[in-house]
Amino acid sequence: MSFRSLQGAFTSLPSWNKVQSSGMKELHSRIDTLRRRLGNRLLILGHHYQRDEIIVHTDLQGDSFQLSAAAAKSSDCETIIFCGVHFMAETADILANSAENLARRNGRRINVLLPDPAAGCSMADMATRQTVERCWNELAAFIDTDDLAPITYVNSTAELKAFCGRHGGIACTSTNAEAVLKTALKEKRRVLFFPDQHLGRNTALKMGIAESELVLWDDTAAAGGNTAEQLRNSKIILWNGYCCVHQKFLPDHIDAIRQLYPGIRVIVHPECRRDVAEKADEAGSTSYILNRISESPSGSLWAAGTESRFVERLAKQNPDKTVVNLAMQPSYCEFMGLIDLPKLSAMVEAADTGVLTNVIRVEESVAADALLCLKRMLACQ
């Protein structure tokens, strides 16, 4: 490109921005029109970590499981657009199209659409059916796997939920992890917890389980990198997975924010590292953080160690309080960020025409086993 044409490209930027913003306005109004036309036949779900431009079009916002469970109850809905990541859309499909719900709707399925099929989750991908099965088989050489309960965080693939379903295991959320661990440990001697080591460790330590009873399973090493004695003495075997968004927070961030805002309260997600969760004033799920900050008195000061789009929205929704990101450098979930207005608009158009794309459908036998472990979780509440 010549210097002159390069200069031209820069001088034309403001008008290009105008074109872009008028394009966005058109998309917003097109989505509004189609949503009015589709009424209750369409449900748009938005996870808290989605962009604002998506959240404005959602019928429900929440944590992943909360959204799927609420959507499954709908009787008029024909299509769910899940603005979240792949494992969330899978859970929505499993719950919305369970045998019980299908019977209630005379066999009519609800189609679950994911606006970008590439919206996965690096943590969910850290534990696959193959690697967990290999671990299970390897563990059998050291411990009695009949006395081992597999527990999967809902941030995992449907195949892993099905594995838990088949082995008497349970799913958990960051809200009910403690209740689920307690239930499992009443029935079994020990637990294999995947994929998030931090949620497992933070919850176990909070329950008073000794550090010596926690072991980390490294899938790339023999016996997960443990001795036979460590495995035999263990109560919780933690999978070596983590969330790249929450693992970025460090104890130094807490020191720095406390210096900058004396008296600030630090609240973090339990997917953060142990030293961060212990140094913070409190730790809890996304819904817990939302409620704690929203219900705190005017003038409160909060630093939140969780996904930054969510923290920035909390700051806007609570103008009478100071709400800041725990770290100077924002921590955005790139997978959630893949969903944007053009992609949402394409899904709403598809729901309107009936020519569906990006349908997430869990294979029937996997869905049936996965539902078992989700139901066991609901029984633990």
286 forms part of the interface with ligand SF4 (CB under 6 A): no
Give the alpha-carbon dihedral of 186, 373, 277, 55, to 10 degrees.
Answer: -150
90 forms part of the interface with ligand SF4 (CB under 6 A): no
93 forms part of the interface with ligand SF4 (CB under 6 A): no
The Cα–Cα gap between 195 and 336 comes to 19
- H or E, element range at 151: strand 148-153
- CA distances (Å), origin 295, targets 67, 211, 284, 340: 22, 34, 15, 30
Cβ atoms of 322 and 301 closer than 8 Å: yes
307 forms part of the interface with ligand SF4 (CB under 6 A): yes
Nearest of 306, 291, 181 to residue 243 by alpha carbon: 306
Residue 133: CB atoms within 10 Å: 14
Instruction: Report, in angstroms and rounded to the nearest whole number, the Rg of the chain calculated over CA atoms.
Output: 23
Binding mask 59-88 for ligand SF4 (x = CB under 6 A): --------------------------x---
Stretch that binds ligand SF4, among 140-148, 170-178, 237-245, 257-265 (CB under 6 A): 237-245
The two beta strands, 214-217 and 190-194, are unpaired
* 333 Cβ neighbours under 8 A, 6+ residues apart: 49, 245, 307, 309
Residue 303 or residue 339: which is nearer to ligand SF4 going by CB?
339
Site for ligand SF4 in 159-218 (CB under 6 A): none
333 forms part of the interface with ligand SF4 (CB under 6 A): yes
Residue 333 or residue 366: which is nearer to ligand SF4 going by CB?
333
Dihedral sign from CA coordinates of 273, 275, 278, 281: negative
Binding mask 13-52 for ligand SF4 (x = CB under 6 A): ------------------------------------x---
Nearest of 305, 301, 232 to residue 273 by alpha carbon: 305
| CB of 231 vs ligand SF4, minimal distance in Å | 27
The Cα–Cα gap between 235 and 86 comes to 31
154 forms part of the interface with ligand SF4 (CB under 6 A): no
155 forms part of the interface with ligand SF4 (CB under 6 A): yes
Instruction: Pick one of 244, 346, 359, 368: the residue that binds ligand SF4 (CB under 6 A).
Output: 244
335 forms part of the interface with ligand SF4 (CB under 6 A): yes
Dihedral sign from CA coordinates of 320, 325, 52, 348: negative
Stretch that binds ligand SF4, among 159-167, 250-258, 293-301, 329-337 (CB under 6 A): 329-337
Instruction: Pick one of 95, 113, 121, 304: the residue that binds ligand SF4 (CB under 6 A).
Output: 121
245 forms part of the interface with ligand SF4 (CB under 6 A): yes
| CB of 205 vs ligand SF4, minimal distance in Å | 20
338 forms part of the interface with ligand SF4 (CB under 6 A): no
Residues at the contact surface with ligand SF4, assessed by CB under 6 A: 49, 85, 121-123, 155, 243-245, 307, 333, 335-336
